[in-house]
Structure 1
Amino acid sequence: MARAALPAAQSPQGVGQGLPGRALFALLRGKVVTAVMITAMRRFFVGTWAGRLLVGASFLAFLGLGGTFVGMGGLGGDMGAPDAVIKVGKAAITAPELGQAIVRQVNYMRNQGAPLSALGAPAMRVQLANSALRQLILGLEVRRVAKGAGFLLGDGAIREAVMAMPEFKGADGRFDPARMNALLERSHLSHADLVKETSTAMLMGSIMAGMEDSATLPESLVAPVLRHYGLRVVVELARLPQQAPASVPAPAEGELERLYDNHKDDFRRPEYRHARIVIMTKETVGKTITVPEKTLRAIYDERKRDYNVPTTRSLALVNFPASDGQAANDLARAWRAKSATSAALNGAGLEGFARPYKGAVPVVLDDARQEDLPDAQLAQQLFKAPVGQVVGPVKTAAGWSVFRASHAAPPHVVTFEQARPKILDEVRTAQAEPALREHVAALQEAVASSTALDKVPADIGAVAASGEIDHEGRMEDGHIAPLPGSAALRRAIVRQIFSQGPGQPPAVIITPGGEAFAVLVDATTPSAPRSFEQARPAVLEAWQRQGQRHAQNERATALYLLARQGRLRQGASTMPASVGTYKAGVVFSRLARPPYPARVVEAAMALPVGHATMIEDDGAYWVLRATARPAMEAVDEEALRARLVARLNAGLHEDLLETLGLGYTREKPPTHFNPALFASTSRAALGQAGLPPAP
C-alpha cells in the first residue's frame, strides 16, 4: 500500500510531537512514512469527540479511490437518488452528503492550524475529497456487515452512549443538551448524523471486540525505537561563516584576467526581460478594506485601560504575618545595608534574600498600578515612598510589609486619533485573508478581459508594476526589484517571467499562500558576453569572495586538527566573533533537536565520544567534537517507553482495522461510481470551505 514520504524538513522533533504510532510501526516494517498533513487528518479521529464517533470505522480499506485516511458525514441515502455519487448494496451516498463531509474535514484541518497553502495544494485537494468519500463508504459497509452478523442497537443504547460523551457534559458533569447542540452546529452535523455515526461506531466496536486487546508489540520491536529516540549526544562546536571579514591581498591585474578567462560564463551580462505585473496580496487587499469609524472607536474603548495608563511603579515587597514583626525589622535593616552597597533586589534575588527570615513572602510587581493593589492603605504608601529607598516595616491589613520602589513611570495617555492607525491596520489584517479570496475572482475576470493588463480596476486591491529584471530578480543596477509581497511570491513572479513567452496572454496564478499575480512579458534582452573591462568590478568581487572563503576554510581546518586532539575550546578562544563562534555543552537529541542544519544534526548524532568532524553546510564551516553520550534518566526512559508503546500499539490496532475493512469491501465493493458528479461536488465543497480555486 503506497504512502507519501515524510519530507526531511518535517522529520519528528520528538516522540510527543513527531510521528504517530502507525508511522513509527511503519518504520520498523520498512514502509514509507505517511505525510505530516495526512497525519493531522488521522488525529481528527483519535483526538476529537466527533472523531471518536467513528474511531471504530476509521483507517480501513484502501478502496482504489485515492487517498489514505478519513472524513466524516452521513451514512447514505436512497439507492435510486438521482444525485448518487456511489452505491454500496441498496444504499447510496448523495452529492449533498459528500459535500458536507468535505467541508467538515477542511474546517477541522483549518482549525488545527493547517495553512491554506497546504490544503489548497492539488494533491491535498484530491486527498480531502477522496478520504471524505471513502469514510462515507466505510460507514455503509460497517452497517451492512453488522446487520448481516445480527448486531442490533436499541434507541436507548445509542442515547446512553451520546449522553456519556464527556464533550457533551456541562461544568456539573451532567449531560448538557445546549452544549451538544452547539458542538453539532459547529461541526455541521444534525441530530440524525450524530445518531447514525454513533451507532456505526458502536457496531464497529462490537465487531472488533477483543481483537485490539489481544494484539501487542514484542519487546524486540520496541527496544530499537526506544534506543533511536532516547539517544543524546553532547557536543562542542565552532561555526565559521564562509564569507567573513578577512584581509585578502590585492590581486595583480593578470590574476583578475586569468579568473575572468577561466569563468567567462559567470561574468556574462544576464538575460533581461521587461514585464508588466499585477500583484494581489493580503497587504494590498487590506488597504482597500473600509472599516466603520464606530468599529474603530469600539475597539479603542475596549482597550482604554491600555491607552490610558496612570502612574506605575516597579515594586519589590516582602510581606510578613502580624506575628512576625521582629523578622520584618531584621529583614528591613539587612535590606537597607545591602541596598547601600549593591544593586537592587528583584525576582529570584529577592526570593533568596528573604528566605532566611521567618514568615517572609517576597513579591515583585512590574509596572503596577495603584488601583490594582488590594490593600488601599499599603498602595498609598507604596506610591508615596521615594524611589530607590527601602521602606518599612509598615503595618498592613494582613501584617507587616517592607518594600522598595525601583522605578516610577509617569501617566501616559494615547488618544483615539493616535491609536486609530494601528487599530485600523489590525482590523484590516484580520479581514485581509478572506477578502483576498474574494478579490482573486475579480482579478481573474479583469485579467481575462485585459490582454495588456491595463484594465484591472484600482479598487480590488491589486497593484501594478513594470520593469526589467534578470533571472535572479535583479535590476540593471544590481538591486533586487522592489516587488510587493513575500520573498516566495517574488520568486514565483520571477520564475513565471522567465518561463512565459514574450507576448503570451497573461493568466492569474495563485500561490500556495493564497497570493495572486499575472505577468505580461513584452520585451527580452538576450544574455551577452562582457569584456574584461566591463566585467572587472564583478571579477574583483568574485576574487575577494574566493579569498575570504579560502581563509575561513584554513581557519576551520586548523580548528578541526585541534579538535581531534581535544583542544577545540583552546583553539576557538582566540577566534574573533566576526570570524566565528564557539559553543560547548550543546545537547543533540531526537526528542529536542537544537536549531541547527539537518546535516550538522546528523553528523553530531553519529559522533562517538572524543571524535571530531568538519562539514560544510548552510554557508558555513562547522567543526564538531562529541564530549559525552549521557544515558537517559530512568524516569524519563520509562515515560518515553510508555508513550512509544502506546503509539506503536495504536498503529498495530489501526492495521487490524484496515485489514478487516479491506475484507468488507472485497465482499461487497461499491458500485455505480459517478466521477463527474464526484468532481463537481468536490470542487464546490472545497470552494465553500474557503480553499482557493485549483491552479
Structure 2
Amino acid sequence: MLRGIHKASRNWLGKAVMGVVMGLLVISFAVWGIGDIFRGASSRSVAKVGHTEISIDLFRMSFNDRVQQLSRQVGRPVSPDQARAIGLDRQLLGQMIAEAALDERSRQLGLAVSDAEVARRITEDPTFRGPAGQFDRQRFEQLIRSAGYTEPRFVAEQRRGLLRQQIVGSITADVQAPKAAAEALHRYQSEQRSLEYIVLDRDHAGQVPAPTPEELAKYYEDHKLTFRAPEYRKLVILALTPDETARSVEISAEDVRKAFEAQKARYATPERRRVEQIVFPNADEAAKAAEKLTAGTSFQALAAERGLSEKDVDLGVMAKSDFVDPAIGDAAFALQQGVPSAVVNGRFGPVILRVAAIEPATAKSLPEVEGQIRQELALNRAKETLGTVRDKIEDELASGLRVDEVAKKLGLTVRVIDAVDRSGRDPDGKAIEGLPAGVDIVGSAFNSDVGVENESVTIPGGGYAWFDVAAVTRARDRSLDEVKDRVEARWRDEQVAKLLDTSTKEIVEKVKSGTPLAEVAAAHKLEVKTVAGLTRNAGEAAVSAKAIAEAFSTPKDAVGSAEGANATERVIFRVTDITVPPFDAASAQTKQLSDRVRAAIGEDLFAQYIGRLQDDLGVTINQAGINQALGVTANNQ
C-alpha cells in the first residue's frame, strides 16, 4: 500500500489527486465491511466523515476520472458498469473517506504547512521545469489546466497532501523490518531448483477413435452453453473526427506557401557540434593548462592528467541554443573542429573547449514538406469546423432523423456493422476493427435498443460519434449441426487429456517405485531434458508455469507432474537439486527485501490507524447519493 503511495506521489498529478493515501482495497474493506451500520449522510453527499461531507458532484467527477485512467491503463474503453463490476466505485469511496479522515485529524491536531513550503514543493517539481531547467510558470499553468485544475484548487490539493504526509510519516517512519522476515523472503524468492523431465503430447496419447453420433450428441447436450450463440447487434455508426473531416478540406498552393514562409525555422535544423570541455577550479590552473596545449600536449592527454575520462569531458551533440551559458556556446561555435580553445570564462568557472565533430545546418525545401503542411492545415481547419458540423448533426437528430438519414443529408459517411457481440467480435469470432478509439461504442450499444435515441459520444483527442442499434439478434442455442466440428474437436481434446492423465500416472508410479526416469523415457521413446536454476517467478522457461509451481512443492529427488503448455500436454519431472544463495544482510538485494517487509508492516499499521480514525470521527454513507452520482437505478443496481 505505502509503495503505491510513494509511486503515485512521484508525478505531479499523483501528488495532486492522490495526496498521500492508502491502498484502495485495504481501505474499502475498512469502509464497506461495516457498511450496514453507516447511514444518515445528507442528501447532498455520498458520505460524511466527522464534519466533512463528500459531495455527490465531487464523487461523480472523481469516478469518471478514474474510469478514464483505467481505460488508458488497459488500452481499451472501460464502461462505468464494467468499472462498478470490479469494485472501482467502492475503492474510490474508501479512498475519499480515508482522505477526508486524514484531513479532519490534521485540523484537529492543528497541523499546518506554510505558503512558502507549498510554493517550494511546486517550483521544485521537475514536471514544471522548462528547457533551461528552471520552474516554468507557463508550463505549470498549461499542465494543471489540462488536468482540470485551477491554480487555487491545485495549491489547496498540494497543501492537503503535505499535511497527510505528516500524519503518514509519524506512523510509519520508524518501522523496522525483522531480519528473520527478510531472510525468509530471501529464501523464498532466491531458491532455485533443477529438474530432469519428459513431455507427453497428444501424439503419445495413442489413437482416439471417432465419437459415435450418440457420444457426440450427449457431449453437446452436456456442454450446450459452451457452444451457445451470443446476442448480436447491428450498428450504424457516424464518426466525426478531425482526421476524417480533414480529408474533404481543400488547401490551396498559396496557403501552403504562406504557411511554409511563416514557419521556415521549423523545417530547418541548426548546426550542431559535439563539444568537449575541461573545467578548472581557478584561472591560474586554466592558464597553465592552456600553456601545455600551446606546447603540444593534446586535449585528451590534458584531460587524462586531470583524471577525467572521455565521458567526463563530453557534453554531447548540441546546438548553440542548447548551451545554458551563452559564453560557452559562442566560444564553441567559433572554433574549428579539433582545435582547442583558449581559456573561456564561463558562468561556472574557466574552461577549455574542443569541438570533436560538426553536423552542418540543414533546411528542407517547400516540395519536401508540402504534403505535411497541407495535411496540418487541413487538420487545423477541420478542428475549427468540427463544432459547427456537430451542431448540424445534433439538430437533424433532434428533428427525428436516424443516424444514417442524417449522414446522407449532410454528405457524411456511416459505417454499418451487421453483427457484433458484447465483446466486440463478429459471428466468426474476429474482433471488429476500426471502431472510434478510446470510447466503448459496443458497450453503449448493448445498453441501448432498437429505436432508442442515444447520446453522442466524445472521442478522446477530438471528435464525436453517434450510433443507432438497427437490429438485435437474441442469444440462442446453436444446433449440433451448426457446431459439429467444434464439438468434436473439444470432445477429442478431452479424450486426449484423459489418456495422457492415465499414462502420466503410470509413469509417475514407475519412477516412484525406483525405475530411473531415463529408462521409462526410453521405453516410451521420449527424450529426457534438463533445466537448472529455475526460480518461482521464472517467467518464460523451458517448462510450463504449472510445472514450475508443482516443482516448488516437490521435495528433492521426488517425482511430480503437471499440465504443460496446453491441456493436451503433460510434464513429468524429478527434482534433482535445490539451492539457496547465501543470505547477505549487507547486500543491495537484502536492503530491497527489508524495504518490502518494512512497507508491508507500515501498511498494516496505517490500515489499523485509518480504521480507528474512522471509528473515532464517525462515518456515514448515503447509498442513495452514491446511486445518484453513478446514475444507478433499481433496475441496474
Q: TM (normalized to structure 2)?
A: 0.53
Counterpart-to-counterpart distance in 1, 2:501 and 2:83:
44
Q: Does 1:659 align with 2:608?
A: yes
Deviation at 1:139, TM superposition (A): 3.8
Deviation at 1:218, TM superposition (A): 1.5
- Measured against aligned partners, the alpha-carbon deviations of 1:505-527 in whole angstroms (never above 9, x if no partner) come to 9999xxxxxx9997535997987
SS of the aligned residue for 1:629 comes to: strand
In the alignment, is the contact (CA less than 8 A) between 2:56 and 2:626 conserved in 1? Answer: yes
Equivalent position of 2:70 in the other structure: 109
After superposition, residues 562-577 of structure 1 pair within 5 angstroms as 568=518, 571=521, 575=525
Equivalent position of 1:199 in the other structure: 159
Counterpart-to-counterpart distance in 1, 2:532 and 2:451:
52
Counterpart-to-counterpart distance in 1, 2:248 and 2:582:
59
Deviation at 1:43, TM superposition (A): 7.1
The 1:187/1:150 distance shift into structure 2, 3 A limit, reads same
Q: Does 1:604 align with 2:568?
A: no
In the alignment, is the contact (CA less than 8 A) between 2:19 and 2:162 conserved in 1? Answer: no
In the alignment, is the contact (CA less than 8 A) between 1:84 and 1:93 conserved in 2? Answer: yes
In the alignment, is the contact (CA less than 8 A) between 2:228 and 2:477 conserved in 1? Answer: yes
In the alignment, is the contact (CA less than 8 A) between 1:560 and 1:568 conserved in 2? Answer: no
In the alignment, is the contact (CA less than 8 A) between 1:230 and 1:591 conserved in 2? Answer: no
Q: Does 1:614 align with 2:561?
A: yes
After superposition, residues 37-186 of structure 1 pair within 5 angstroms as 45-52=8-15, 54-59=18-23, 62=28, 66=32, 83-111=44-72, 113-116=73-76, 122=82, 124=84, 127-170=87-130, 172-186=132-146
The 1:290/1:237 distance shift into structure 2, 3 A limit, reads farther
Deviation at 1:565, TM superposition (A): 5.2
Q: Which one-letter code corresponds to 1:224 in the other structure? A: A
- Measured against aligned partners, the alpha-carbon deviations of 1:613-652 in whole angstroms (never above 9, x if no partner) come to 3344531121223333343377899343222221221222
Give the fraction of aligned pairs with identical amino acids, expressed as a percent. Answer: 14
Deviation at 1:559, TM superposition (A): 9.2
In the alignment, is the contact (CA less than 8 A) between 1:559 and 1:571 conserved in 2? Answer: no
- Measured against aligned partners, the alpha-carbon deviations of 1:553-602 in whole angstroms (never above 9, x if no partner) come to 65995698579655539946995xxxx77643254312333355443122
The 1:170/1:268 distance shift into structure 2, 3 A limit, reads closer
Match of 1:463 among 414, 417, 420: 417
Match of 2:539 among 593, 614, 617: 593
Q: Which one-letter code corresponds to 2:165 in the other structure? A: G
Deviation at 1:55, TM superposition (A): 4.8
Q: Which one-letter code corresponds to 2:537 in the other structure? A: L
In the alignment, is the contact (CA less than 8 A) between 2:19 and 2:158 conserved in 1? Answer: no
SS of the aligned residue for 1:606 comes to: coil
In the alignment, is the contact (CA less than 8 A) between 1:275 and 1:521 conserved in 2? Answer: yes
In the alignment, is the contact (CA less than 8 A) between 2:177 and 2:595 conserved in 1? Answer: no
Deviation at 1:206, TM superposition (A): 3.3
- The CA RMSD measured in Å over matched residues stands at 6.4
Deviation at 1:208, TM superposition (A): 4.5
Q: TM (normalized to structure 1)?
A: 0.49
Counterpart-to-counterpart distance in 1, 2:92 and 2:475:
45
Deviation at 1:216, TM superposition (A): 1.6
After superposition, residues 428-467 of structure 1 pair within 5 angstroms as 461-464=415-418
The 1:214/1:561 distance shift into structure 2, 3 A limit, reads same
Match of 1:240 among 192, 200, 203: 200
Q: Which segments of 5 or more consecutive residues in structure 2 lack a partner in the other structure?
A: 35-40, 257-355, 357-374, 380-389, 434-448, 454-466
Deviation at 1:544, TM superposition (A): 12
In the alignment, is the contact (CA less than 8 A) between 1:611 and 1:625 conserved in 2? Answer: yes
Counterpart-to-counterpart distance in 2, 1:110 and 1:540:
36
SS of the aligned residue for 2:530 comes to: strand
Equivalent position of 1:265 in the other structure: 218
After superposition, residues 397-408 of structure 1 pair within 5 angstroms as none
Counterpart-to-counterpart distance in 2, 1:213 and 1:610:
46
Equivalent position of 1:224 in the other structure: 184
Deviation at 1:212, TM superposition (A): 1.9
Deviation at 1:296, TM superposition (A): 14
Counterpart-to-counterpart distance in 1, 2:176 and 2:49:
34
Deviation at 1:229, TM superposition (A): 1.4
After superposition, residues 444-593 of structure 1 pair within 5 angstroms as 461-464=415-418, 482-485=428-431, 519-521=472-474, 550=499, 554=503, 561=510, 568=518, 571=521, 575=525, 583-585=529-531, 587-593=533-539
In the alignment, is the contact (CA less than 8 A) between 1:236 and 1:627 conserved in 2? Answer: yes
In the alignment, is the contact (CA less than 8 A) between 2:28 and 2:90 conserved in 1? Answer: no
Equivalent position of 2:372 in the other structure: none
The 1:462/1:566 distance shift into structure 2, 3 A limit, reads farther
SS of the aligned residue for 1:211 comes to: helix
Counterpart-to-counterpart distance in 2, 1:270 and 1:58:
45
Give the length in aligned residue pairs: 454
